[in-house]
Amino acid sequence: MDIAYSDKNPDLGRLYGAHLATVCERYDHALQASGASHAVVFSGAAHPVFLDDMVYPFRAAANFLCWAPLSDLPLSYVVYTPGERPVLIYNQPRGYWHVVPGAPDGYWTRYFDIRIVHELADASDHLPENRDNCVFIGEVLEPTQALGVERVNPSTTLNLLHYPRGRKTEYEIECMRLASRRGVAGHNAAKRAFMDGASEFSIHKAYCDAVSLTDNELPYGNIIALNEHAAVLHYTALDRQAPDPYRSFLIDAGAQVHGYASDITRTYSFDDSDFSDLIDRMETLQLDVVADVRAGVDYKELHVQTHHRIADVLVEADLASGSSESLLINGVTSTFFPHGLGHLLGTQVHDVGGHMENESGNTIDPPSGHPFLRLTRTLEENMVVTIEPGIYFIDMLLDKLKGTPAEKQVNWQRVADLKPFGGIRIEDDVRVKQDGCENLTRDAFSTA
Ligand code: GLY
Ligand code: MN
Ligand code: MN
């Protein structure tokens, strides 16, 4: 593995102490406001398959990953008491059927009081005696995993932790810069495979090879969509045969470093200049939206402004006619752009807290008519968000326009001509700054 992505990365080592101090401060505040003295944060367990002796791939809990880069350590706990060094109950089962976690290693270890246990039952010995003073954060599949703590995931505590998680520490941002760099290596390999005429499955393999991650280690299932498959927003089928004719490619694929994700989308035309022209228009639109990102901007407004920009592109590309206002009101823009502009990014691809108004649990609804918008907050410095506008040719949505005032606004012949290309999405990950943003994705592409 590239040392930069490992727990030997000295840059991450330099930033980690300050990150952990921020995590501790957030827990200090959350515990105090919840009337608790200790937090027990669980890494999670692999889910069993029904009536089978198999398990689904393990995913570490996002709240656990904020403590330490331990994405492959099931049945382990961080026990935190304000003012004390966090205890890490590190589960290292004995056995020969499965690989067991190695000895704890890396820049993060010196910040923890690490207790190795070989049996889940022994984890209990490392918890404060009075379980009533503890809150437990994590998913519990078996009661024994809660170690006798009864206050499991209190919403007060979760709200107090999830709201500030929207703002990332320098360490988290560096992890996401690295995840962007890693993802871009995959994107470049995938683009080469597309230009060689490969199938979706082969492009996917080229991607995984370049990022050196297995399917289960990717932050989300790769979307590798050729031709009309790009119109399925979360297409993950991976056809084994290359289509003929070979027209277009939408790739939405990320990578992770220490549990932090990148989430990147690009769209390419194989050899059609008309579709290429539409991609260029969307590229300009996407960059215009990115240029508007800064602290203090209401993300809901950015989303609605993007609909006006989409209306302009639809008119310029002769896909629709009318004022941008009428194209919004009549549902034309949301037919072609039916998802949100983006979301928070972190240890979850769709990081928690996107609708939170404050740490008390009040929420901000998406604007009416835009139910899929995952981020409704005002942007703050050091939030990391995606900007991912798109245009798609989706029969199910287009059909709904028939018989409405919108029907006359759509150029159905143009739609029919472009439908075989599926759609376009361009997605960057950006870190919000006071006066603009840092584009993690484009920086990674330009240094690749
Ligand atoms: N890849 C999922 C998303 O863009 O939100
Ligand atoms: Mn996204
Ligand atoms: Mn994406």
pTM, rounded to two decimals? 0.97
The rounded Cα 428 to chain-centroid distance in angstroms is 11
Residue 125 Cα to ligand 3 midpoint, Å, equals 43
Atom of ligand 1 nearest to the CA of 253: 1
pLDDT of residue 250: 98
Same domain, 115 and 200: no
Does the pLDDT at position 338 exceed 80? yes
* Residue 143 CA, ligand 2 centroid: distance in Å: 35
Q: What mean pLDDT is predicted for residues 272-278?
A: 96
Beta pairing class for 87-91 and 77-80: antiparallel
Q: Cα of 428 to ligand 3 centre, how many Å? A: 9
Centroid of ligand 3 to alpha carbon of 352 (angstroms):
16
Q: Choose which residue among 265, 344, 345, 373 to substitute to test ligand 1 binding: the one with the highest number of ligand atoms within 8 A of its C-beta.
A: 265
Q: What average pLDDT does this structure show over 63-78?
A: 97
Domain containing residue 61: CATH number: 3.40.350.10
Structure confidence at residue 34 (pLDDT): 97
pLDDT digits (tens, 9 = 90+) for 359-406: 999 999 999 999 999 999 999 999 999 999 999 999 999 999 999 999
Residues 144-182 have pLDDT tens digits of: 999 999 999 999 999 999 999 999 999 999 999 999 999
Q: Ligand 1, closest atom to CA 220?
A: 1
Question: Is 138 in contact with 79 (CB distance < 8 Å)?
Answer: no
Instruction: Read off the CATH number of the domain in which 193 is found.
Output: 3.90.230.10
Tell me how far apart the alpha carbons of residues 93 and 54 are, in angstroms, rounded to a whole number: 18
Please say whether the beta carbons of 73 and 123 come within 8 A.
no
**Dihedral pair phi/psi, residue 173, rounded to 5°:** -65, -40
Residue 261 CA to ligand 1 centre (angstroms) = 11
Residues 203 and 133 in one domain: no
pLDDT digit string (tens) for 305-330? 999 999 999 999 999 999 999 999 99
Both 220 and 130 in one domain: the answer is no
Any alpha helices (H) in 331-375, and if so which ranges?
332-336
Q: Residue of the nearest CA to atom 4 in ligand 1?
A: 263
CB 42 within 8 A of CB 138: yes
Backbone angles phi, psi at 139, to 5 degrees: -90, 135
Per-residue pLDDT band for 103 (boundaries 50, 70, 90) equals very high
Q: Which ligand is nearest to the CA of 250?
A: 3
Q: Which atom of ligand 1 is nearest to the CA of 263?
A: 1
> Which ligand 1 atom sits nearest the alpha carbon of residue 252?
1
Q: What are the DSSP calls for 241-273, one per residue? A: SPPSS--EEEEEE--EETTEE--EEEEEESS-H
Helices (H), ranges, 239-394: 273-291, 299-316, 324-329, 332-336
- 201 & 156 share domain: no
> In the chain, how many domains are there?
2
pLDDT value of position 233: 98
pLDDT at 211: 98
Structural domain ending residue among the three candidates 117, 144, 162 = 162
Q: Are residues 154 and 194 in the same domain?
A: no
Domain range for residue 196? Answer: 170-447
pLDDT at 120: 92
Distance 252 CA to ligand 1 centre (A): 7
**140 and 179 both lie in a single domain:** no
Long-range contacts from 235-240, C-beta under 8 angstroms, 24+ separation? 237/200, 238/200, 238/201, 238/204, 239/199, 239/200, 239/201, 240/199, 240/200, 240/201
3-state secondary structure of 428: strand
At which of 139, 162, 185 does a domain end?
162
Residues 88 and 21 in one domain: yes
Which residues does residue 260 pair with via DSSP β-bridges, in sequence order? Answer: 257
Q: What is the mean pLDDT of the chain?
A: 97
Question: Which residue's alpha carbon is at the smallest distance from atom 3 of ligand 1?
Answer: 263
Nearest Cα neighbor of 116 from 59, 64, 75, 144 is 75
Residues with CB under 5 A from ligand 3 (ion): 252, 263, 265, 427
Ligand nearest to the CA of 187: 3
pLDDT digit string (tens) for 213-239? 999 999 999 999 999 999 999 999 999
Pseudo-torsion of CA 244, 339, 59, 35, nearest 10°? 180
- Reply yes or no on whether the pLDDT at 89 is more than 90: yes
Percent of the chain whose predicted confidence (pLDDT) is above 90: 99
pLDDT at res. 384: 99
- Distance between Cα 266 and ligand 2 center (Å): 12
409 and 286, same structural domain? yes
The span from the CA of 67 to the CA of 61, in Å, is 11
Among 116, 136, 162, give the residue marking a domain's end.
162
Same domain, 358 and 420: yes
- Do 103 and 192 fall into the same domain? no
| Pocket of ligand 1 from Cβ distances under 6 Å | 220, 252, 263, 349, 388, 427
Residues 188 and 144 in one domain: no
Q: For residue range 6-52, list pLDDT tens digits in order.
A: 999 999 999 999 999 999 999 999 999 999 999 999 999 999 999 99
Cross-strand bridge partners of residue 423: 392
**Shared domain check, 331 and 437:** yes
Query: Is residue 1 scored above 90 in pLDDT?
Result: no
SS3 for 78? strand
